[in-house]
Amino acid sequence: MVNTIRSRNSNRNTYNKMIINLPIYECKVHYIVVEKNEDIDKKQRFIYKKHKINKSVPKEEDGGSVGLMIPCFTDYYMIISKEEKNKINVILHELSHCIDFITQDRGIEDTEEKAYLTAYIGDKILKHEFSIL
């Protein structure tokens, strides 16, 4: 099941969000696209506060991240910036981290299961983002 929220405005930061429910893994993947690189840090702070994660958000000296993966055991947040020109590369990079976190948190080592999960989540994100396949 996939829920899509488009053009949501939170604290004057516009973003698009899609939630991919994974009942068999008892978790959700939150795919979030923000307008600017610096909005990633703002979203990260919000997620840390929401999940009571006691970590500081590092300041990026090179203009900010273009993508970020935040694992929270039942909620996995993939955050991508619209400013990134190689968006597919960033999506696939963060998806790789997402799969690693989901499977490690559940003690899954089977590479075939990881491959199916990658294909399932990747298909949902690419269809949402690019209207392909």
As a whole number of angstroms, the distance between CA 30 and CA 76 comes to 6
Residue with tokens 């790789």: 96
Query: Please, how many CA atoms are within 13 Å of residue 4, restricted to the half-sphere of its CB?
Result: 7
Could you please report the per-residue DSSP string of 21-73?
EEGGGTEEEEEEEESSHHHHHHHHHHHHHHTT---PPPPPSSS--SEEEEE-S
pLDDT at 85: 81
Can you tell me which residue has the tokens 């499977």? 103
The reported pLDDT for the residue numbered 129 is: 87
Partners of residue 69 on adjacent β-strands = 78
**pLDDT band per the 50, 70, 90 thresholds, residue 14:** confident
Give the phi and the psi of residue 125 in degrees, each rounded to 5.
Answer: -70, -45
Q: Sketch the domain layout of the chain as residue ranges.
A: 2-130
- Residue-wise pLDDT tens digits, 76-99: 999 999 988 888 999 999 999 999
